[in-house]
Structure 1
Amino acid sequence: MEIIRIAELPQQVTPRGVKARTVLDVPYINIMNLTLNPGDEVPSHTTPVDVLFHIIEGEGSVTVGPETAKVKAGEIVVSPAGIPHALNADAGTIFSVLVMKIPNPKGKAK
């Protein structure tokens, strides 16, 4: 059995300026934990694979295509492959999101 303790994983800053931890990077899935400070955003972009956003802390908004929804801890948003998506943290709250890309667009484990 493997237990991943997300809070103990090393954290880096992404090119989009948010804190990120690599949770799992294997051929069938890539999972990152993004932590956005109040007011931070991940601008709209597309990925070639399906993406799930599992909100684990805080509140914010997720945009998928033309739709934007307010979300909070415990909710999951589905973003189909090739559809633009974005994240925005609400003012006054940390917004922590597990971003799961299925399958891993890199296609191989690190």
Structure 2
Amino acid sequence: MKITNYKDAEKKDNPHGVTVHKLYDTEHAQVMHMQLKPGEALKKHSTPVDVFFYVLEGEGIVEIGDEQETITKDMLVDSPAKIPHRLMNESDSLFRFLVVKVPRQTEQTKMM
């Protein structure tokens, strides 16, 4: 059995300049723990595979294509492959979420 606490997981450099921990990474799937401090945001980008986001803590804004919604704890958001998206924290508290990619991407993420 393997158990991983995000605080102990490997930190991953990323083009967004935010805190990311790699929780799970196999040839079939990938799970990242991300956190956005107040005022932080991901840069708009698209991934070559479907992604979903699961909110662990706080409140944020998700933008997928032309749609934008406020999301909160325990919400899951589906983000289809090749559609530009980003997440933003415009609140006064920490926004933590999981990013799950299935299947694991083999092509590069495209930054907008």
Superposition TM-score, scaled by structure 2 size = 0.88
Q: Which amino acid aligns with 1:44?
A: K
What stretches of structure 2 of length at least 5 have no aligned partner?
108-112
What stretches of structure 1 of length at least 5 have no aligned partner?
none
Which residue is equivalent to 1:37?
Answer: 37
Please report the RMSD computed on the Cα atoms of aligned residues, expressed in angstroms. 1.5
Instruction: Report if aligned partners of 1:35, 1:97 keep a CA contact under 8 Å in 2.
Output: yes
Q: Which amino acid aligns with 2:17?
A: G
Instruction: Report if aligned partners of 1:27, 1:106 keep a CA contact under 8 Å in 2.
Output: no
Greater strand content: 1
Which residue is equivalent to 1:65?
Answer: 65
Which residue is equivalent to 2:23?
Answer: 23
Q: Which runs of at least 4 in structure 1 moved beyond 6 Å after TM superposition?
A: none
Which residue is equivalent to 1:92?
Answer: 92
Deviation at 1:12, TM superposition (A): 4.3
Q: How many residues align?
A: 107
Superposition TM-score, scaled by structure 1 size = 0.90
Instruction: Report if aligned partners of 2:29, 2:100 keep a CA contact under 8 Å in 1.
Output: yes
Identity %: 35
Which residue is equivalent to 1:54?
Answer: 54
